Structure 1
Amino acid sequence: MSGTTTLPTPSGPYLDAGMLPADFYAHEELLSEKERGKIATLRDFLRTQAAPLVDDYWGRAEFPFQLVEGFGKLGLMEWADPDSPESKPSNLFSGFTALELAHFDASLATFFGVHTGLAMGTILACGSDEQKRRWLPAMSRFEKIGAFGLTEPHGGSDVAGGLRTTARRDGDGWILDGAKRWIGNATFADLIVIWARDVETQHVLGFVVEKDTPGFTASKIENKMALRIVQNADIVLDGCRVPESNRLQNAKSFKDTAKILRQTRSGVAWQAVGVMFGAYEIALSYAKQREQFGRPIGGFQLVQDLLVKMLGNATAACGMVTRLAQLQDAGVYRDEQSALAKAHCTVRMRENVGWARELMAGNGIVLDYKIGRFVADAEAIYSYEGTREIQTLIVGRAVTGGLSAFVR
């Protein structure tokens, strides 16, 4: 073998800018030197700027807007500006970005994913050149924030065939009517991608609705037990008039919507791995400091068994999403591969946060010890971007040669 790889030295979370203790097989070494530098910069930003804020804002279910400018200065989305000399980063780098955010806080990872993956990703994939130049530069600098409105109050998994929000052509514009639910960032977003069914053709079309457009209202969903920093909203569209210039010119059917979801579904799998990393590191740090019977509990066999099971889950899941990103970068990945990663990684994530809470006993339910936040947030990640059951049916259809178990 040529060269050597140094395994990360386990330490408390965010004590330095080195690789993460949970990255036991040093997957981060697969990134280029430039990419590792950007991840290190993000890690330092989260450690120094977000760490003092996140528990308090999570407890109050409020968003720390003072961090938005800092996200923009990181330059993680500069490449999305049509006039930028930066090239699109690898899917592996994008995955590790999601992992890093979720390893620190799943709410911030969700905010970032909605803005960059769902909103910006839709404009990149479905917008005209003029629309990309109109919206993406400010979005890439986080000067304008995006949201993505697909899910509706009556259901989620059946949205492909059951979309009720309508779009009616009216002169040089469109009239949107309907409702959306669980729309992240929507209470403060400047640009909201809305998917609606054309009443004439029955095709699903995409529109960008700008903040303060008459007929558009977004109301915060209160009393959430998970992702409390994320500002989810109920949206009502009541005679909301949108100009033709705001209709995404390359969004012509639900197949275009599905292309976005296929990409972001893999990002949720990366978030799940990040949550596993964070839970493991919190539990590891606690085990080395908490004393019972005159010594740290990390020296007891049953505690070490929990830690090693958590590390095994996290390592295996990281290997899975790493390979998925490599397939994406090669342009050969399939829907069912993203679906399997999302389903498997979120199940293992649920298991890991439970073990971390178990290790920390009563302290595990107190926000001061952080792991309770991870346990609660894992429940949302487990369900959004397609439930485990739906992902299972996607994979099942593929492995059985097209035998669909979906109810029609």
Structure 2
Amino acid sequence: MSFEPLVSDFYDYASLLSDEEQAALARLRAHLETAVKPVVNEHWQSATMPEGIMPGLASTGVFGFAWEETKPFENSAVFRGFVALELARVDASVATLVGVQNGLAMGSISVTGSPEQRAEWLPRMAAGEVVGAFGLTEPLSGSDSAQGLRTVATRDGDEWVLNGSKRWIGNATVSDITVIWAKDAADGQVKGFIVPTSTPGYSATKIQGKQSLRIVQNADITLEDVRVPESLRLQGANSFRDTAKVLRLTRAEVAWAAVGNSIGAYEAALRYAKERVQFGKPIAGHQLIQDLLVKSMGNITASLGMVVRVSQMLDDGTQRDEHSALAKAFTTARMRETVAWCREVLGGNGIVLDYDVARHFADAEALYSYEGTREMNTLIVGRSLTGAAAFV
């Protein structure tokens, strides 16, 4: 299957990928176009998750690309970024489903799990046999998770007893396991646990009324005397610094998803502009429409250059927290501008699902806020620039 560069990849950054990476990306794009894109508006409208979507995505290898135990071939962080871009270009909710499974849940196990835990869980998750979720955010603790985590883990012999609550946990109503982060009652340090969702005392309730990422099944989780064995404690997760190692990897991919969401809106607006006739010609031939499209392309191209470089730094081992933080803050802000301009191209048609732009417009708001708000990421970069922490 041949790989065709996106019209929105104006500087052809995809040419940096190997032939094998381009072929894998082409297979993923074909699956998304034929099996996912035709149903996303329907499921976005009904706030439901398409049946069979996880096994279908697993068949493309998308859940295993990043981890040693499951990756089908040697691949780069730039390639994995393009995977996130392709997913979000079709639908940001689908990109989030994959990000939670592949980056947050599998990433927690890969980065902080023991060899035995990685061998047990990662292949099954890569195959789509086990769906994972990531439980960090709480009702009263979001940006201050490092300090304000209230979920408590108490050691009781060979078991741990978890009590607390989580909020905004993606995939949680459909997951088989959830990685729960809790403070150890003994030492106050944050630790991670693989919690089967069938465990007594664990419950997940879908959050209703969302106006963004409506396909994602976000939930409130309640943990009441949930007992998990020591064998399900992530053996390499002993403080929030270990949690941050996972977030460092996934934050950059959220930046890539923001670029993909911008591209999805841009491509829909460009297509519409070529087809919509006003004043006797397609509106693509009007100066003001071209201005909106060119400004959108400028944002996309600048953002794409930034995330490519951040991913190259990840491959080189030189990426730091402030690098991914700047990328996430910048690309999501530019995404907000871009989807608004693309909605403007469509006029009144920009607020209905039929033309796709409305969905990308609404989903941008969630991407802008999750995995670190613009403000928090700005403060991470500001601390790096000035040497002074200004979080409070």
Give the TM-score band, short-chain normalised: over 0.9
Tell me how many residue pairs correspond in the alignment.
Answer: 391
* Deviation (angstroms), 1:202: 0.6
| Equivalent residue number for residue 386 of structure 1 | 372
Query: 1:24–1:315: 8 Å Cα contact kept in structure 2?
Result: yes
Equivalent in 270, 273, 279 of residue 284 of structure 1: 270
Q: Residue 316 of structure 1 aligns with which residue?
A: 302
Deviation per residue, 1:86-108 (Å, 9 max, x gap):
45521111100000000110000
Which whole-Å CA distance do the structure 2 matches of 1:242 and 1:254 have between them? 20
Match of 2:390 in 1: 405
* Corresponding position: 1:123 with 2:91: no
Shift of 1:78: 4.0
Query: Given the alignment, which residue of 353, 364, 372 partners 1:367?
Result: 353
In the alignment, what sits opposite 1:241?
Answer: 227
Q: Tell me which residue corresponds to 1:69.
A: 55
Which of 155, 160, 177 is matched with 2:146 structurally?
A: 160
Q: Offset at 1:68?
A: 1.7
Letter in 1 for 2:190: V
Check if 1:301 corresponds to 2:287. Answer: yes
Say which SS state the counterpart of residue 53 (structure 1) adopts: helix
Does the 8 A contact of 1:176 with 1:241 survive in 2?
yes
Specify the SS of the correspondent of 1:51. helix
Going from structure 1 to structure 2, the CA distance change for 1:217 and 1:91 (only over 3 Å counts) comes to same
1:357–1:365 CA contact under 8 A, matched in 2: yes
Does residue 262 in structure 1 map to residue 255 in structure 2? no
Does the CA-based 8 Å contact 1:209-1:242 persist in structure 2?
yes
Give, in angstroms, the shift of residue 170 of structure 1: 1.0
Q: Distance in 2 between matches of 1:38 and 1:188?
A: 27
Distance 1:406 1:80, change over 3 A: closer
Distance 2:207 2:322 in 1: 32
Contact 1:287 1:297 (8 Å CA) reproduced = yes
Going from structure 1 to structure 2, the CA distance change for 1:189 and 1:84 (only over 3 Å counts) comes to: closer
Answer yes or no: is 1:229 the counterpart of 2:215.
Answer: yes
Which residue does 2:86 correspond to in 1? 100
Mapping of residues 174-213 of structure 1, within 5 Å = 174-213=160-199
Q: What secondary structure, in the 3-state scheme, does the structure 2 residue paired with 1:180 have? A: strand
Instruction: State the Cα deviation string for residues 228-253 of structure 1 (Å, max 9, x = none).
Output: 00000000000001111100001000
Q: Report deviation, 1:120.
A: 0.2
After superposition, residues 20-59 of structure 1 pair within 5 angstroms as: 20-59=6-45
Does the CA-based 8 Å contact 1:82-1:132 persist in structure 2? no
1:215–1:280 CA distance, 2 compared to 1 (3 A):
same
Instruction: For 1:84 and 1:136, locate their aligned partners in 2 and report how far apart those are by CA, in whole Å.
Output: 7
Q: Would you say the 8 A contact 1:215–1:237 is kept in 2?
A: yes
| Per-residue deviation, residues 353-408 of structure 1 (Å, max 9, x unmatched) | 000011100000011111110110000000000110111111111111x111111x
Residue type matched to 1:405 in 2? A
Show CA shifts across 1:113-154 (max 9, x none): 000000000000111111111111110111111100000001
Amino acid at match of 1:215: G
Q: 1:86 to 1:367 in 2, by over 3 A?
A: closer
Q: Which residue of 2 aligns with 1:8?
A: none
Q: What is the match of residue 349 of structure 1? A: 335
1:131-150 alignment to 2 at 5 Å? 131-150=117-136
- 8 Å contact from structure 1 (residues 179, 237) kept in 2: yes
* Partner of residue 4, structure 1: none
Of the structure 1 ranges 265-274 and 83-92, higher mean CA displacement relative to structure 2 is found in: 83-92
TM-score by length of 2: 0.98
Distance 1:372 1:145 in 2: 29
- Give the structure-1-normalised TM-score: 0.94
C-alpha deviation, 1:17, in angstroms: 5.6
Amino acid at match of 2:234: L
Q: Structure 1 82/292 Cα, relative in aligned 2: closer, same or farther at 3 Å?
A: closer
Provide Cα deviations, 1:37-69, integer angstroms capped at 9, x if missing partner: 011101000100112210000000000122222
Write the letter of the residue equivalent to 2:338: N
> In the TM superposition, what whole-angstrom CA distance separates every residue of 1:199-243 from its partner, at most 9, and x where no partner exists?
111111000000210000000000000000000000000000111
C-alpha deviation, 1:77, in angstroms: 3.6
Letter in 2 for 1:64: P
The secondary structure found in structure 2 opposite 1:65 is coil
Displacement of 1:21 = 1.1
User: Where do 5+ consecutive residues of structure 2 fail to align?
Assistant: none
* Residue 170, structure 1, aligned to residue 148, structure 2: no
Rounded to whole Å, the distance in 1 between the matches of 2:199 and 2:288 is 58
Distance 1:30 1:310, change over 3 A: same
Shift in alpha-carbon separation, 1:348–1:363, aligned structure 2, 3 A: same
